[in-house]
Amino acid sequence: MGGNNKLFSIILIALLGLSALLSLLFAFGAVSEGLLITWCYILLGIAVVTTLGFSVMGMAQNPKKAKSALLGVVVLVVICAVSYFMSGNEVHSNVDGDILAEAGTSQLSEGGLIAFYILGVVAIGSIIFAEVSKAFK
């Protein structure tokens, strides 16, 4: 395990160094913002693959905890689906008649906002519940 930690540290330092170098080159005008955005997409891809990989490995090692984690994912998917179907699909345009959001885009963004509000209320409610239940123990 110690060898893996050293390898991960080396990879992390290399990615951080390359990011810093690209940022400096961008600041001095040597590289375009397109390259910087592409690098950000690459880093995002590495983060997603790493996160999903370690999550799947963790679930395979401990199936009991995997059930509760999958339950959380299912609840999140249900909240997103309910939010999507609650949202409207109006076409939005400005005063000049230019279309700002098509029906599908409007429904996705409104569904995202509704999901955000639901999850925010659930988070605040769980914080309040936890504090009140601790006060009565």
Q: Is 77 exposed, middle or buried (0-12, 13-18, 19+ CB in 10 A)?
A: exposed
User: Model's pTM, two decimal places?
Assistant: 0.60
Question: What pLDDT is stored for residue 83 in this prediction?
Answer: 95
Question: What pLDDT is stored for residue 37 in this prediction?
Answer: 94
Largest interatomic CA distance in the chain: 63
Domain boundaries, the chain: 1-61, 63-137
Question: What pLDDT is stored for residue 4 in this prediction?
Answer: 77
Q: Give me the residue label for tokens 């991960």.
A: 8
Give the C-alpha separation, 17 to 24, whole Å. 11
pLDDT tens across the length of the chain (137 residues) = 556 789 889 999 999 999 999 999 999 999 999 999 999 999 999 999 999 998 888 888 888 878 888 888 899 999 999 999 998 888 777 778 787 778 888 889 999 999 999 999 999 999 999 999 988 87
Question: What pLDDT is stored for residue 34 in this prediction?
Answer: 92
